[in-house]
A and B are shown apart, each in its own frame.
Chain A
């Protein structure tokens, strides 16, 4: 049975909503920490001499390194009891559906992240739509995040969805 549309004009107006851009410094130390924390000890990320003699010519970061410093630290007093910030890292319009699920991630890579790069991330809501799930209506909030580096090159584009139910 089809559910009545929960997507009001107010919710629809969030399509196109952009977060303020944020900056990620790809330092040697943070790349090492990310590689170790993901148990990915590839010498392209860790061994300067090895990386210099590789096709890349210098140390690079693991593909998903950009996920490391995605949000600014929030003071503990501003965290919910479960440890999450009250405001999530991605913008979500207010809806009558209380539960938030991850709807998957799709990344297209263009140039590698190198040690010393400064990345700028920009996230935008690209679509909001409703589907009927087994347990009731689902609202999909689709977002696109683009990262460019200090040379103005496009580094990667991440498409992701949050599902409200």
Chain B
């Protein structure tokens, strides 16, 4: 993004990524169902969703993956490269509930003249329950190269 590039030298193991807060609304879930052509009713039909035993409309699993990808791309900036992303949804996320996407740097190294960074990433609700767990590898530009 336009607000300054992150460089490898600015990243240290243990550092936190800037938190990305999302509270997906019914409208956003509708738009995601539409662009992914997903007719599954637990994402838009509240009566049906309650009858299936859920307490509310359910957030799409891959939308939570997209939020985590945004946590990373926003942090690494235009010249950073998202190389690997993995995530698994452990618990259900509901519409209109906070999903705080967070991350911690776990490893940094230089290979092929590039700065590589590994992170643990996750999305948690307002109670701090981690609903999605994942990890990522990114490549950052180096200042002195």
Q: Spell out A's residues near B (CB within 8 Å).
A: 30, 33-34, 36-40, 42-44, 50, 54-56, 62-64, 67-71, 73-74, 76, 79, 82-85, 102-109
| Measured CA separation A54–B52 after assembly (Å) | 47
| Measured CA separation A63–B67 after assembly (Å) | 11
Q: Nearest-CB distance from A141 to chain B (Å)?
A: 15
B96 part of interface (Cβ distance < 8 Å): no
Closest B-chain residue to A82, C-beta based? Answer: B41
Range, interface on chain B: 35 or more
- Which of A37, A54, A82, A108 touches B28 (beta carbons < 8 Å)? A37
A42 touches B74 (CB 8 A): yes
B66 touches A64 (CB 8 A): yes
A64 touches B74 (CB 8 A): no
- Check A105/B65 contact, CB under 8 A, given A42-B74, A43-B2, A55-B78: yes
Closest B-chain residue to A36, C-beta based? Answer: B31
In the assembled complex, 15 residue pairs joining A and B whose CB atoms fall closer than 8 Å, in A order, are A37-B31, A38-B66, A39-B24, A40-B70, A40-B73, A63-B69, A63-B73, A63-B82, A76-B39, A83-B39, A84-B40, A102-B61, A102-B88, A105-B87, A107-B86
A64 touches B69 (CB 8 A): yes
Q: Which residues of A contact B73 (CB under 8 A)?
A: 40, 42, 62-63
- Check A63/B85 contact, CB under 8 A, given A37-B34, A82-B40, A84-B40: yes
Of A39, A62, A73, A84, most buried by chain B (CB within 10 Å of CB) is A39
A69 touches B37 (CB 8 A): yes
Total contacts A to B, CB within 8 angstroms? 104
- Check A38/B70 contact, CB under 8 A, given A33-B35, A82-B52: yes
B2 touches A30 (CB 8 A): no
B107 part of interface (Cβ distance < 8 Å): no
Q: Ordered nearest first, which 5 A-B pairs have the shortest CB separation? A: A104-B88, A106-B86, A37-B31, A38-B66, A83-B41
Closest A-chain residue to B69, C-beta based? Answer: A63
A105 touches B35 (CB 8 A): no
Q: Which residues of A contact B45 (CB under 8 A)?
A: 83
Contacting A at CB under 8 A, from B1-60, are 1-2, 22, 24, 28, 31-32, 34-37, 39-42, 45, 48, 52
Apart from A37-B32, A40-B66, A107-B85, 8 more pairs, CB < 8 Å: A39-B28, A44-B78, A67-B36, A67-B62, A104-B87, A104-B89, A106-B86, A109-B83
| Measured CA separation A67–B33 after assembly (Å) | 11
| Measured CA separation A135–B88 after assembly (Å) | 20
| Measured CA separation A76–B36 after assembly (Å) | 16
Q: Which residues of B contact A108 (CB under 8 A)?
A: 83-84
